[in-house]
Amino acid sequence: MSGVMTRASETLGRFGGVNLLPLWIALAAFLLIGVPSSWVTLTVAGLAMGMMVFLMASGLSLVFGLMDVLNFGHSAFVSFGAFVAATVLAALGGWLDGGPLLASAALACALIAAIAFGLAAGLFFERVIIKPVYRDHLRQILITMGALIVSEQIILAVWGGTPVTVPRPAFLEGAWIIGDVSIEIYRLFAFGLGALVFLGLILLLNRTRIGLLIRAGVENREMVESLGFKIDRLFIGVFMLGSALAALGGAMWAGYETLITPALGGEMMIVVFIVVIIGGLGSIEGTLLGALIVGLTANYVGYLAPKLALASNMILMMAILMWRPSGLRPAVK
Applying CB under 8 A, the residues found at the interface with other proteins are 209, 212-213, 215-216, 218-220, 222-231, 331-333
Per DSSP bridges, beta strands 259-260 and 181-184 are unpaired
Q: Tally Cβ neighbours within 10 Å of residue 143.
A: 18
Q: Which residue, among 47, 74, 80, has the nearest Cα to 59 in the 3D structure?
A: 74
- In whole angstroms, the minimum distance from the beta carbon of 284 to other proteins comes to 12
Cβ of residue 98: shortest distance to other proteins, in angstroms?
47
- Minimum distance, C-beta of residue 14 to other proteins, in the bound complex (Å): 21
Of 109 and 216, nearer to other proteins (C-beta) is 216
Q: Which of 224, 204, 202 is nearest to 213 (CA)?
A: 224
For every residue of 53-86, DSSP letters joined together read HHHHHHHHHHHHHHH----TTHHHHHHHHHHHHH
Q: Closest separation between CB of residue 333 and other proteins, Å?
A: 8
Q: Toward other proteins, which CB reaches closer, 98 or 211?
A: 211
Instruction: Compare residues 47 and 224 and give the one whose CB is closer to other proteins.
Output: 224
Distance CA 113, CA 117 (A): 6
Q: Which is nearer to other proteins, 10 or 222 (CB)?
A: 222
Question: Which positions ≥6 away from 86 have C-beta within 8 Å?
Answer: 110, 164, 165, 166, 167, 254, 260
State which residue, 81 or 280, has the beta carbon closest to other proteins. Answer: 280
Q: How far is the CB of 228 from other proteins (least distance, A)?
A: 4
Q: How far apart are the first and last CA of the chain?
A: 26
- Residue 204 beta carbon to other proteins: minimum distance, rounded to whole angstroms: 15
Q: Are 149 and 78 in contact (CB under 8 A)?
A: no
Select 81 or 330, whichever has its Cβ closest to other proteins. 330
